[in-house]
């Protein structure tokens, strides 16, 4: 059996299906309303891997991992785990003729919920609060009606309408949602841990895709009034001053018409030299010879739904006037061309089509401003027949996917899609920034919330004029300074701050091999590159309150702004001072004057670091350092490399080297890609070892008693032991 239908006494229709063994889909519609998919299903943003065959007996639909029971007279739902424990217990539901559908469930004592959106500025868990899932400027650029419960389940409301949650605020013993779609359609994920719930959610809605390696470098977004001469001089100075930078980007002043929403946009020729037919444009060619990638700001209000319907094979219906004119062969075009209030959209042309010329001229990516994506369109009727109630939240998904697929098809290279907006499944298509809310510590809770939706690629507009902002900005998954209307180039920020930018920029450059490898793993398992402590240490209830710290990958703990920090269980080696802290517990820390926050190496960690590069690919990854903090058990790090730009990795053209640490032994494989590679090992130890060996032969090392670490001579491959 692949689905089971029920009908209640009041003729509510219910359907149960299982996309996988641990995911149930539950649909409930009032009498006389058809059972329909949401726009997320229609346009492929939910990818049901099933359906899975299941058994039905004793009023239960069962897989090996979960079951769903329906009380047929009333329609109330219960969801159980594989052992028969209750996960979800419906108290009530309701429909309105013209209004939202509502579902209410029992809330057990101490149960709490996380997920939802980027909107929270002070918390990750929401019991006792309402949460509204809708894209709203400033408040919530990204949302998904997906929540994870501490009681061992997660729920995704299958909707692109506004969804409002009440998380035991109105009634302490229940939680509920209202969906303006007017039906109840939701997925339930049965899994005891947040990491397993995220894995199931991203299995259904998509895991991140590999981006170009350069995107993990530092980017500088120029002031709005910059011209091509300033831009070229700026690029040269980045190189001369040794501030690593991989990308330069222009704000809307590059356009001849400011904030041009049309497909007729052109360069501002008063600011930018333009020679027809030259690819790339001369000034962009200069940037690329210096190792820079290049981005352009965009705004959009195009009706993307026409293209989506074409992709589904649906023909766009001609206007009755067109049919009439064709029949009578009327020649006066004033009377034959349909009039549309939407003067931007070209019905027969995909949005990306007009961007191809800019890509050919040298643009590597587009910064997709929130602009009208977050604005209501109360009187708009889209080409697919939907209105803004259903399209408002969906729009950013269509935008990101069409950008991704358009760029990939046109260039045969990996796209980098950069958009602050998103809805369910956005993590599969886009990298994001926090939007127009600055780069201070208040942005981190929202970023952590997105991590709980399986999102890896996020950043802020760096607060570049404070040590704390510099520390935070350079130690996010992605890294940018947004000049907007200011000159914020690092060399203009004064002696101390300029040096900090150079130091942190060089540190980030060295961390990219680690970040790239960790992100590759995210594309496989859906786990975020930046993790809240409560995701890694779920059973430690104290971590639920920690919103100014995070794990960057598995190896690094980053703390921002605050000097009172929480250390989870284990030992943590201060990256700056060498001091070791032991958790769990709160501690007061300090950092050197030329740093802006805490950075700690986790016990059991392997941290590969490359040479400093001014841009990715400047020199080969040959002179490497591997930082180790041996701990209990065995730890393997998959060091991943590919060409950093194309899709050849899909054909197996990559190298994955397992670096294995167990006790006092490290195993390093030789590199096929870089046969001349050498590693220097920096190992945190409680005391100086009596002997270090490579394949049984002595290996030279230096002991630093202040930092409690050794630094070995270079090693190409083999087995290293210390005792």
Mapped to the 3 state alphabet, what secondary structure does 622-667 carry? Answer: CEEEEEECCCCCEEEEEEEECCCCECHHHHCCCEEEEEEEECCEEE
As annotated, the residues of the chain forming the CATH 3.20.20.80 domain(s) are 213-525
Measure the CA–CA gap between 377 and 391, rounded to whole angstroms. Answer: 9
Cα distances (angstroms) measured from residue 249 to each of 243, 348, 646: 16, 30, 22
Q: What is the mean pLDDT of each run of 10 residues along the chain (723 residues)?
A: 91 96 98 95 90 88 97 96 97 96 98 91 95 94 98 99 98 98 98 98 98 99 96 98 98 97 96 82 96 98 97 70 50 62 93 98 98 95 96 98 99 98 98 94 96 98 98 99 94 96 99 99 98 98 98 99 98 98 98 98 99 98 98 97 98 98 97 96 98 98 98 98 97
As annotated, the residues of the chain forming the CATH 2.60.40.1180 domain(s) are 622-722
213-525: in CATH 3.30.9.10: no
Sheet holding 174-179, edge to edge: 55-57, 60-62, 66-71, 76-81, 86-94, 101-106, 174-179, 163-167, 129-133
Per-residue model confidence as pLDDT tens digits over 554-611: 999 999 999 999 999 999 999 999 999 999 999 999 999 999 999 999 999 999 999 9
Both structure tokens of 29:
């519609």
Measure the CA–CA gap between 266 and 481, rounded to whole angstroms. Answer: 25
Residue 335 pLDDT: 56
Say what the alpha-carbon torsion angle 645, 648, 653, 658 is, to the nearest 10 degrees: 50
Contact 666, 717 (CB under 8 A): no
- CATH homologous superfamily of 622-722: Golgi alpha-mannosidase II (2.60.40.1180)
Report the b/e string of 362-379 with b at 16+ CB within 10 A: bbbbbbbbbbbbbeeeee
Partner residues linked to 187 by β-bridges: 25, 156
Q: Smallest Cα–Cα separation from 434: which of 425, 447, 424?
A: 447
Q: Where are the beta strands (DSSP E) in 118-173?
A: 129-133, 143-149, 153-157, 163-167
What is the three-class DSSP state of 499? helix
Q: Which residue is listed with tokens 């894209």?
A: 135
Relative to beta strand 365-368, strand 417-418 is parallel
Residue 317 pLDDT: 58
Residue 280, preceding peptide bond in cis (omega within 30° of 0): yes
Q: Rg of the chain's alpha carbons, rounded to an integer?
A: 27
Residues 6+ apart with CB under 8 A from 25: 15, 16, 17, 18, 19, 48, 158, 185, 186, 187
Contact 400, 430 (CB under 8 A): yes
Residues 6+ apart with CB under 8 A from 335: 325
Q: How far apart are the first and last CA of the chain?
A: 60
Partner residues linked to 297 by β-bridges: 367
Both structure tokens of 113:
């919920």
User: Architecture of 3-192 per CATH?
Assistant: Sandwich (2.60)
Q: Where are the beta strands (DSSP E) in 373-461?
A: 417-418, 432-433, 458-459
Partner residues linked to 701 by β-bridges: 712
Residue 45 pLDDT: 98
Measure the CA–CA gap between 531 and 448, rounded to whole angstroms. Answer: 7
Angle at 409 between CA 478 and CA 394, to 5 degrees: 65
As annotated, the residues of the chain forming the CATH 2.60.40.1760 domain(s) are 3-192
Q: Smallest Cα–Cα separation from 139: which of 446, 449, 422?
A: 446
Per-residue model confidence as pLDDT tens digits over 189-198: 999 999 999 9
Q: What sections of 61-133 are H helices per DSSP? A: none
Q: Is the dihedral of CA 76, 82, 85, 87 positive or negative?
A: negative
DSSP label of 714: P
């Amino acid at each position: 059996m692949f689905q089971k239908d029920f009908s209640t006494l009041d003729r509510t229709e219910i359907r149960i299906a299982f996309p996988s063994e641990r995911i149930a889909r539950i649909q409930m519609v009032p009498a006389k309303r058809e059972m329909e998919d949401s726009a997320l299903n229609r346009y492929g943003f939910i990818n049901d891997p099933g359906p899975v065959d299941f058994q039905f007996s004793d009023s239960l639909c069962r897989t090996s991992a979960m079951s769903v029971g329906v009380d047929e007279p009333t329609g109330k739902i219960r969801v159980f785990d594989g052992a028969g424990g209750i996960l979800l217990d419906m108290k009530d539901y309701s429909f309105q003729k013209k209004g939202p559908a509502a579902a209410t469930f029992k809330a057990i004592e101490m149960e709490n919920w996380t997920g939802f959106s980027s909107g929270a500025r002070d918390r990750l868990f929401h019991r006792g609060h309402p949460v509204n899932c809708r894209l709203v400027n400033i408040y919530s650029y990204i949302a998904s009606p997906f929540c994870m419960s501490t009681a061992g389940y997660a729920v995704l409301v299958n909707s692109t309408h506004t969804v409002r949650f009440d998380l035991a605020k109105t009634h302490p013993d229940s939680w509920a949602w209202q969906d303006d779609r007017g039906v109840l359609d939701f997925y339930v994920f049965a899994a005891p841990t947040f990491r397993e719930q995220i894995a199931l959610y991203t299995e259904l809605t998509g895991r991140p895709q590999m981006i170009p390696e350069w995107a993990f470098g530092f980017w500088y977004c120029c002031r709005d009034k910059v011209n091509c001469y300033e831009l070229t001089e700026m690029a040269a100075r980045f190189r001369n001053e040794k501030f690593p930078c991989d990308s330069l980007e222009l704000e809307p002043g590059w356009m001849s018409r400011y904030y041009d929403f049309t497909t007729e946009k052109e360069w501002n020729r008063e600011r930018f030299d333009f020679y027809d037919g030259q690819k790339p444009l001369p000034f962009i060619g200069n940037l690329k010879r210096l190792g820079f990638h290049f981005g352009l700001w965009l705004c959009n209000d195009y009706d993307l739904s026409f293209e989506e319907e074409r992709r589904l094979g649906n023909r766009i219906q001609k206007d009755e006037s067109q049919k009439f004119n064709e029949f009578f062969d009327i020649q006066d075009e004033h009377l034959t061309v349909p009039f549309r209030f939407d003067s931007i959209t070209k019905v027969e042309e995909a949005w990306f089509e007009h961007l191809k010329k800019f890509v050919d001229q040298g643009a590597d990516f587009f910064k997709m401003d929130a602009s009208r994506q977050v604005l209501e369109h109360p009187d708009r009727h889209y080409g697919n027949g939907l209105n803004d109630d259903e399209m408002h939240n969906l729009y950013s998904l269509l935008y990101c996917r069409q950008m991704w697929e358009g760029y990939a098809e046109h260039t045969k290279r990996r796209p980098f899609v950069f958009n602050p907006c998103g809805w369910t499944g956005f993590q599969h298509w886009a990298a994001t920034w926090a939007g127009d809310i600055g780069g201070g510590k208040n942005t981190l809770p929202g970023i952590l919330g997105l991590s709980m939706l399986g999102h890896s690629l996020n950043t802020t507009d760096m607060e570049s004029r404070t040590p704390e902002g510099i520390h935070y900005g350079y130690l996010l998954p992605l890294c940018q300074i947004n000049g907007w209307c200011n000159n914020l180039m690092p060399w203009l920020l004064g002696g101390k701050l300029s040096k900090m930018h150079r130091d942190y920029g060089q540190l980030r450059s060295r961390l990219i091999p680690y970040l790239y490898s960790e992100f590759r793993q995210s594309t496989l398992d859906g786990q975020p590159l930046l993790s809240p402590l409560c995701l890694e240490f779920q059973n430690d209830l104290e971590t639920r309150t920690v919103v100014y710290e995070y794990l960057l990958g598995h190896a690094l703990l980053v703390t921002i702004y605050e000097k009172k920090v929480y250390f989870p269980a284990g030992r943590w080696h201060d990256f700056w001072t060498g001091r070791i802290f032991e958790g769990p517990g709160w501690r007061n820390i300090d950092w050197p004057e030329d740093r802006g926050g805490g950075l700690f190496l986790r016990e059991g960690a392997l941290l590969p670091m490359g040479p400093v590069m001014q841009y990715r690919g400047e020199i080969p990854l040959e002179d490497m350092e591997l930082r180790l903090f041996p701990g209990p058990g065995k730890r393997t790090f998959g060091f991943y490399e590919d060409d950093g730009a194309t899709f050849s990795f899909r054909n197996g053209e990559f190298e994955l080297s397992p670096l294995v640490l167990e006790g006092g032994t490290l195993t390093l494989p030789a590199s096929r890609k870089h046969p001349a590679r050498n590693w220097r090992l920096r190992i945190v130890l409680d005391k100086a070892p009596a002997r270090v060996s490579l394949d049984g032969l002595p290996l030279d090392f230096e002991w630093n008693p202040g930092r409690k670490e050794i630094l070995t001579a270079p090693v190409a491959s083999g087995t290293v032991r210390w005792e």
